Structure 1
Amino acid sequence: MSKIFSPLFQAATYTRWLHLLLGVVFAGVMVMIYPGTVGVSTARMLTAGSVVDSVLLGAVALVPAMRHVEGLQARILLMPQREEDIGVAYSRSWADRRRTALWLIARVALGTATGVLTVRTLLLLGGGRGFGFRPPGGPLWRVVLALPVLFALLWAVVLLGRLQLALAVALLGPSPAERLAEAELRAEQLLERNRLARELHDSIGHALTVTILQAGAAREVADPAFLDKALAVIEETGRRAMEDLERTLVVLREAPEPGASAAERPGLDQAPGLFDTARAAGSPVEAAIEVQARQLPGVLSREAYRIVQEGVTNALKHAPGAPITVRAELADGMLALHCANSLAAGGRRGGGKGLRGVRERAALLGGEAVAGLEGSEWVLRVRLPLRLGL
């Protein structure tokens, strides 16, 4: 029983009824201004009116904003389960305009049917000739007929409203091009989120690794000079981590503060700072950066810095105190990065999130990254093309 009566008490039924009745307004206005309707048969007037209405509605559908307006109104009054099922974009193609024209024609047709049904039912309940006959008897008969007639009318409205909603989803719903654009936007957002996650992992992970190593060493070594140096390294590393975190938060903000984007992400020319931090943590670093910052595109320099940072961080984490070798050079139109460290200290290596992030960075730039044991060393090799996108 609830399935029979519950739709009659839902707000959607009455907002859809209003939406349907709005469709009859256009037909009503056109009937009043049709020339030569006096003395013309109803069938002929309806035929001529349908043709004229269709032509006018087709012309209105050519306006790009019409699809936007109709979509907004349908979302509010037809109350779909998901608003995104009904589009609100402007018409961008002839296919969109055709669908909008079909929607307007269908809306006026369903609205006219709903209006006629509503008016005739009210006439019948008022004692008039609603559907070609007049109810027998007096007011008592009208009271007896009221409930079943109203029940039938409301269920007709429920069905017509559902049909109107289905047409709105089919004709006003996102086109294939809009769905593709939405999918591309979601993909871009996911890529941006992954990039930000890598940024935080690389920068904050590096800072925490250095901080832990320095704090542990300072506790073991009872030397005031070493303690001062360790605290200075921790302070500098924390400051850099805060700068990286602020840069990431700037990207996440919808409306960045004026001047907030002035701090650029670090490039490969700032790699010596990483090496100084590693040396201060007790790991000797032999670095040969044979590349000038001006020789690299900005994005390549920034990603190369993050890759080198990840290599140094992994060396500090898994083999603290072991010598680290870093090289960066240009060869055959490629930027070659090499980061190696000895495993003599007994470190255990694996394919964690950091190395996966390095591979993702390299793949997005059209390059490749390989990491693994080579003799007694753990080696990370990355090759990135200088001409991005080719």
Structure 2
Amino acid sequence: MPRILAPLLSPVTYARWLHLLIGWIFAGVMLMIYPGIAGRGLGEVLVRAVPVDVALVVLSATVPAMRRAEGVQARLLLVPDREQDIAAEPARGWADRWRTALWLLGRLVLGGAVGAASVLGPAAAFDLLVRPEPVVFGLRVPGGDALRWTPLLAPLALFGLGWLVVWAGRLQLVMAVRLLGPSPAQRLAAAELRAERLLERNLLARELHDSIGHALTVTVLQAGAARAVGDQAFTAKALEVIEETGRRAMDDLERTLALLRDTGDTGDAGDTGDAGETGDAGEAAGAEDVRERPGIDRLPALFDTARAAGSPVEARVDVPPGRLPGVLSREGYRIVQEGVTNALKYAPGEPISVRIAVRDGRLELRCANALPPHAGAPGRSGGSPRRGGKGLRGIRERAVLLGGEASAGAESGEWVLAVRVPLRLGA
């Protein structure tokens, strides 16, 4: 019983009822102002007025603002669980206009039916309840005194009207989601936009992980070495390296946070339809990103930092100046940085070998370090696995996005990270 009565007592039902009655009143007004129907029967009025009214409704749907007005009203009175399922923006094309026209026509028909029932239902209940004879809509029910129990049917008439409103409101909501909500093409475009924004944020998160992770690794190693050695000159040098590394990490952090804010602002603009401003903001953010992110030319400073942390670095970079596209230079730097950071973290003090070369139209990067004597099973260094780390997963993702491949693992007493990507993106 509570399940049956709950929808009839819900405020949502009465809000939707009001929405349905607005459509009925609108249809009634259109019929009443139609010229030349005075004194004519209902059937003749409908035959003459309905085609003209339908044409007016379709014509009104061509006004872009009509879709916004209907969407706002549907959101307020139909009370959807998810407001974004019903759009509240003007029509953007003829597909939206035709869907708005169908919505208006369906709303008038459904509202007219519910409006008529809202008048006839209480009237029937009144006739059954208070008439001295069993009369419904002015017609005497056959049976006379034998049907004196008919007042008991009055609550059933009201109950039926209530559930008619409940189901009509639900049907109206379904219509609103289908006809006023985003089209399948718009939903696909919105999903693609969300995926693109998520990818941008993941890329920025990866940048932050690589930069801050490297800085913290160097800082911990330098601080530990300075405390262990106890030499004043070494301590001063370690503090200098820590200061420089921390400064670069702070710069990377500020740049990444600025880009995250720009990405958030861009997303808000995109939601309101400011496509031009969104594009300009995105291009400006992208230009700033390209200008400030380090490339392969910054690798010597990275190697000096590793050497200062106590790990000898032998590097060979066979890349002609200007040969690499900017994106490969920047991604190559991050890949090598992650390889060096892993070597410092899992095999501190062990020699690191870095090879970067361009062969057969591909950029090849190889970063290897000797496994420490206490290394565990293959695929482990220092007793800690590297294969499942976020850094290595990020390297593989970078390589795949660039159309290449990456591998990492123990080989002949060394931990080897190898990445190969084509010089021509998408090749």
Indicate whether the TM-score tops 0.5. Answer: yes
Q: Deviations over 1:91-111 (max 9, x none)?
A: 445444333222110101111
What is the number of equivalent residue pairs in this alignment? 384
1:117 corresponds to: 117
Distance 1:197-1:299 versus aligned 2 partners, 3 A rule:
same
Matched to 1:311, the amino acid is G
Q: Is the 8 A contact 1:27 1:108 kept in 2?
A: yes
Within a 5 Å distance, the mapping from 1:121-132 to structure 2 comes to 121=121, 132=137
SS of the equivalent of 1:288 reads strand
Pairwise CA distance, 1:176:
1.4
Distance 2:210 2:231 in 1: 31
Equivalent residue for 2:210? Answer: 202
Say which of 403, 415, 425 aligns to 1:366. Answer: 403
Distance 1:255 1:169, change over 3 A: closer
Q: 2:324 aligns with which of 289, 296, 303?
A: 296
- What per-residue deviation string (whole Å, max 9, x for no partner) do you get for residues 71-99 of structure 1? 22212210112223323454445444333
Change (3 A) 1:375 1:102: same
Over the matched positions of the two proteins, sequence identity in percent amounts to: 62
Instruction: Note closer, same or farther for the CA distance 1:105–1:363 as it changes in structure 2 (3 Å cut).
Output: same
Q: Runs of 4 or more off by more than 6 Å in structure 1?
A: 124-131, 143-146
The Cα shift of 1:145 comes to 8.5
TM (norm. structure 2) is 0.80
Structure 1 counterpart of 2:12: 12
- Answering whether residue 178 of structure 2 is matched by residue 170 of structure 1, we say yes
SS in 1 for 2:220: helix
Query: Structure 1 counterpart of 2:12, which letter?
Result: A
- Residue 212 in structure 1 maps to residue 240 in structure 2: no
Counterparts in 2 of 1:94 and 1:131: CA distance versus 1, 3 Å: farther
In 2: Cα distance, 1:336 partner to 1:34 partner:
79
1:101-154 Cα shifts (integer Å, max 9, x gaps)? 221101011112222233445666888999732899xxxxxx999765544433
Give the corresponding residue for 2:45. 45
Q: State the alpha-carbon separation in 1 of the partners of residues 68 and 318 from structure 2.
A: 57
Change in Cα spacing, 1:147 to 1:209, as seen in structure 2 (3 Å) is same
Q: By how many angstroms is 1:187 displaced?
A: 1.8
Q: Give the structure 1 partner of residue 71 of structure 2.
A: 71
The 1:219/1:147 distance shift into structure 2, 3 A limit, reads same
1:175-209 Cα shifts (integer Å, max 9, x gaps)? 21122112212322332232233222211111111
Q: Distance in 2 between matches of 1:74 and 1:286?
A: 68
> Which residue of structure 1 aligns with residue 269 of structure 2?
none
Deviations 1:253-296 (A, max 9, x none): 23499x99587222222122211110100111122233366433
Check the 8 A contact 2:87/2:180 in 1, yes or no: yes
Determine if contact 2:20/2:111 at 8 Å carries over to the other structure: yes
2:95 and 2:136 map into 1 onto residues whose CA distance is 40
2:191 aligned residue: 183
Residue matched to 2:347: 319
Q: Distance in 2 between matches of 1:361 and 1:28?
A: 64
Counterpart for residue 235 of structure 1: 243
In 1, Cα distance between the equivalents of 2:185 and 2:176? 18
Q: Among residues 363, 377, 381, which one is paired with 2:414 in the alignment?
A: 377
C-alpha contact (below 8 Å) 1:267/1:293 kept by paired residues: no
- Quick check: 2:315–2:354 contact (8 Å CA) kept in 1? yes
Contact 1:322 1:344 in 2 (8 A): yes
Shift of the 181–312 alpha-carbon distance from structure 1 to 2, 3 Å rule, reads same
What's the CA shift for 1:252? 2.0
User: Which whole-Å CA distance do the structure 2 matches of 1:81 and 1:23 have between them?
Assistant: 22
Instruction: Verify the 8 A CA contact 1:319 1:345 in the aligned structure 2.
Output: no
Structure 2 unaligned spans of 5+: 142-150, 267-280
3-state SS in 2 of match to 1:295: coil
Q: In the alignment, which of 384, 393, 397 is matched to residue 356 of structure 1?
A: 393
Which residue in the other structure is 1:305 paired with? 333
Q: TM-score, normalised by structure 1?
A: 0.87
1:107 corresponding residue in structure 2: 107
